[in-house]
Chains A and B, each alone.
Chain A
């Protein structure tokens, strides 16, 4: 295991009586690409700002390489930030923006020049030295912001929704570039986003946050395959979350059927939340022996790679992704492998998510869009 570089211990923070962070503890290791993921207002940006030094925690401790950081001002921290809307200096050109940190260190012009050149090459902006900031596109401004932060050779780079203002295509390209830069430089990246896909594809570690608390910390695969509670299961990807009972180890009962599963360690007959991902359900003939559950298809949407169907099983609407065509109003059977079933302890988020009765793509996109505006 690599050395811990940033440690947050029991951090709490409130603004005007509103609790933003409650008792957060987080350990970040060298060379790690860690992402704070959560909906707007979950406290992810505040966490980042506490590490940067723009906010101070009400209670709790921040450590940087084992040194207490609480009372150290931002300009004395060996940490740099890439801001959400870049915050480039409009009175300086690209070169001077990137050179800003080095000039403060009283470095000589002839030492600065090759470093700026190297940084601009790293972010693919060769030849942009003399350009005015206002003449750059969003993507180019983003690159300048990254170069301006990286040139100071920080041990930790903080990125606050850096791709939020870019269009989808550019965002995908920048995701790859950022990941490459991180691998090349070996700098610890602490990345804040509300985009779960971005978090899963770039990070070594994902920290899912909601309501000022950390819900789960893990690798992207862990977070996706073994969500800890209904919030995480719902926030990361699509999930059918149903009430169930753990009869005994490896036996779970839900939707009126007893399933074999791989989970153990629960009390006998403990009420639990069951997660089944839409892509892990097989559609079979309703009369076949394999059919474990049966339901009526209420809607079918063609998605290109697969069909997305909503199936009514005893009044609970499941989302299922299948490559086999089924018609609306058709009665179908469903088969679920033991390893596709994930059992979670009951939490405060139980019964809040997981039913697709009110689901529509349009709504999903709408709520995504409002989130971007709010942030």
Chain B
């Protein structure tokens, strides 16, 4: 018995080592820098004064991430539902197609969206045939398109995974009791897939709100997000780790709070079902 539990502990050691080096210690550093000044002295909440300076950046980040998340949900939910209703073999193919872009590097994916949207890009040369030319690059629209394209699979997969586990008999029971197909969707299918929606929303919203590459590549100077601000603070020549860490810390708190709020909407036992895909 004892030996067994020792073996189990040994097996989980690599994870603990990983977690300490790449999660716990960095968070410790973030906290350390956020609450100290450039000489390493405890600075209380002094660093947090810069939040005011970045208030509009924070709100723009949250707004764009929110829009992208909603668009992902509006596209992802019907897509996941449609896939879950096909034959099992078809489902495998369709889900593979959804995941396929994720096999390609994130930066390349974002660059390819840029190529599509550029002034002389694919979209404009197609529209050119009709005498139309659109300024799409360096707009917030382009940023949202990039976010949706990059993170849509993270919305589809958890929702799909919950929907495939949903007992078809429950839908039959709903129609038997008088639901038309829309009522069956709103009264039974949607409430029972809420756990998948919550994990999908979390998995899309979190990377969207903290992204910097998408906004730089597609948003140009017009779209300066909190991720860009953190990157600038950390990597520019006049690097200021303390202010950068403070911004990171605030962003982290924001994400934790919004995740907690969303998890509040699902029961514990239901979120277990959604966890499968994560």
Residues of A at the B interface (CB closer than 8 Å) are: 52-54, 73-75, 79-81, 83, 85, 87-91, 100-101, 104-105, 134, 148-149, 152
Q: Dominant SS at the B interface?
A: helix
The closest CB in chain B to the CB of A92 belongs to: B191
**Please, what's the 1-or-0 string for B154-180, where 1 marks a CB less than 8 Å from any CB in chain A?**
000000000000010110111111111
Q: Which residues of B contact A100 (CB under 8 A)?
A: 174, 177, 187
Residues of A within 8 A of B177 (CB): 75, 80, 100-101, 104, 148-149, 152
Q: Is B52's CB within 8 Å of the partner chain A?
A: no
Can you name 23 A-B pairs with beta carbons within 8 Å?
A: A52-B172, A52-B176, A73-B180, A74-B172, A74-B175, A74-B176, A75-B180, A75-B183, A80-B176, A80-B177, A81-B173, A83-B169, A83-B172, A85-B169, A87-B173, A89-B173, A89-B174, A91-B191, A91-B192, A101-B177, A104-B178, A104-B179, A104-B187
Hey, what's the 0/1 contact readout for B7-38 against A, CB within 8 Å counting as 1?
A: 00000000000000000000000000000000
In the assembled complex, the Cα of A75 lies from the Cα of B180 at a distance in Å of: 6
Q: Which of B172, B177, B269 has the most CB of A within 10 A?
A: B177
Q: Are B179 and A87 in contact (CB under 8 A)?
A: no
Convert B29-61 into 0s and 1s, putting 1 for each residue whose CB lies closer than 8 angstroms to a CB of A: 000000000000000000000000000000000
Cα–Cα, bound, A181→B187 (Å) = 29
A73/B173 in contact, CB under 8 A: no
| A75 in contact with B178 (CB, 8 Å) | yes
A75→B188 contact, CB < 8 A: no
**Known contacts A90-B192, A134-B269; A101/B178 CB under 8 A:** yes
How close is A309's CB to chain B, nearest CB, in angstroms?
46
What residues on A are CB-neighbors of B176 within 8 Å?
A: 52, 54, 74-75, 79-81, 149
Residues of B within 8 A of A89 (CB): 170, 173-174, 188, 192
Known: A89-B188, A91-B191. A73 touches B170 (CB 8 A): no
Q: Which residues of B contact A52 (CB under 8 A)?
A: 172, 176
B interface size (C-beta, 8 A): 19
Closest B residue to A101 by CB, please name it: B177
Give the docked Cα–Cα distance between A83 and B173 (Å). Answer: 8
Q: Which residue from chain B places its CB closest to the CB of A151 in the assembled complex? A: B177
Expressed in whole angstroms, the Cα–Cα distance for A75 and B188 within the complex equals 14
CA of A148 to CA of B178, assembled, Å: 12
Decide if A87 touches B167 in the complex (CB within 8 Å). Answer: yes
Q: Which residue of A has the minimal Cβ distance to B191?
A: A91
Q: How far is the CB of B138 from chain A (nearest CB, A)?
A: 45
Q: How far is the CA of A91 from the CA of B188 in the complex (A)?
A: 8
Query: In the bound complex, what is the Cα–Cα distance between A75 and B174 (angstroms)?
Result: 8
Complex-state Cα separation, A90 to B267, whole angstroms: 11
Q: A87-B167, A87-B169 in contact; A73/B175 too (CB < 8 A)?
A: yes
Query: A88 to chain B: closest CB distance in Å?
Result: 8
Q: Please, which residue of chain B has its CB at the minimum distance from the CB of A103?
A: B187
Of A74, A101, A134, A149, chain B has the most CB atoms within 10 Å of the CB of A74
Residue of A whose beta carbon sits closest to that of B180: A75
Contacts of B179 on A, CB cut-off 8 Å? 75, 104
Q: In the docked arrangement, what's the CA distance between A101 and B175, Å?
A: 10
Having A89-B174, A91-B270, A101-B177, one finds 12 other A-B pairs with CB under 8 Å, namely A54-B175, A73-B180, A74-B176, A75-B177, A81-B173, A83-B169, A87-B167, A88-B173, A90-B192, A91-B188, A91-B192, A149-B177
Which of chain A's residues have a CB closer than 8 A to the CB of B173?
Answer: 81, 83, 87-89
Which residues in A have their C-beta under 8 angstroms from that of B175?
Answer: 53-54, 73-75
Residue of B167, B176, B180, B269 ringed by the most chain A CB atoms within 10 A: B176
Q: State which of A80, A87, A101 has its C-beta within 8 Å of the C-beta of B170.
A: A87
